């Protein structure tokens, strides 16, 4: 772990450069450090992406195509998901309930959303 920059104890530039270092909002040094930090973040993101591109469980797009080619397989083409949704009531309805075409249903966390194709009448 480094003993300068951003650490578990906060930003340590003052310890490295002295207590009188100007890190105010208009400081040229602060602006420079922000630019360097942004570039450093981009480099770490690229390194992480390159690392994960070598694992079949994490690779995506062209990286996944290249990885599975090494294994002698090809990816299946993407298709839209389908499924069955059951609408029900715990009590009797006094009249028919129409669930119109285009009604959207989703998982509790809304990570999967489906749209109904046809109209349904709940009796």
In the chain, where the domains are located: 6-70, 80-123
Distance separating alpha carbons of residues 93 and 2, to the nearest angstrom: 67
Distance separating alpha carbons of residues 113 and 106, to the nearest angstrom: 4
Distance separating alpha carbons of residues 25 and 31, to the nearest angstrom: 8
Instruction: Give the tens place of pLDDT for each residue, 38-69.
Output: 998 999 999 999 999 999 999 999 999 999 99
Instruction: Give the tens place of pLDDT for each residue, 75-108.
Output: 888 888 788 888 888 888 888 888 888 888 888 8
Highest mean pLDDT among 19-23, 30-34, 83-87: 30-34
With 0.85 as the threshold, say if the pTM is over it.
no
Within the chain, where are the H helices? 13-17, 28-52, 61-70
Which of these, 92, 74, 90, 85, lies nearest to 113 by C-alpha position?
85
Residues whose CB is less than 8 angstroms from the CB of residue 106 and which lie 6 or more positions away in sequence, other chains included? 112, 113, 114
């Amino acid at each position: 772990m480094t003993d300068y920059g951003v650490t578990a104890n906060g930003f340590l530039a003052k310890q490295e450069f002295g207590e009188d270092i100007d890190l105010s909002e208009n400081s040229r040094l602060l602006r420079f450090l922000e630019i360097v930090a942004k570039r450093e973040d981009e480099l770490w993101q690229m390194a992480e992406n390159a690392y994960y591109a070598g694992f079949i469980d994490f690779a995506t797009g062209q990286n996944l195509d290249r990885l599975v080619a090494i294994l002698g397989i090809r990816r299946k083409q993407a298709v839209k998901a389908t499924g069955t949704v059951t609408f029900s009531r715990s009590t009797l309805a006094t009249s028919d309930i129409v669930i119109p075409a285009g009604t959207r249903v989703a998982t509790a966390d809304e990570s999967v959303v489906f749209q109904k194709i046809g109209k349904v009448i709940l009796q």
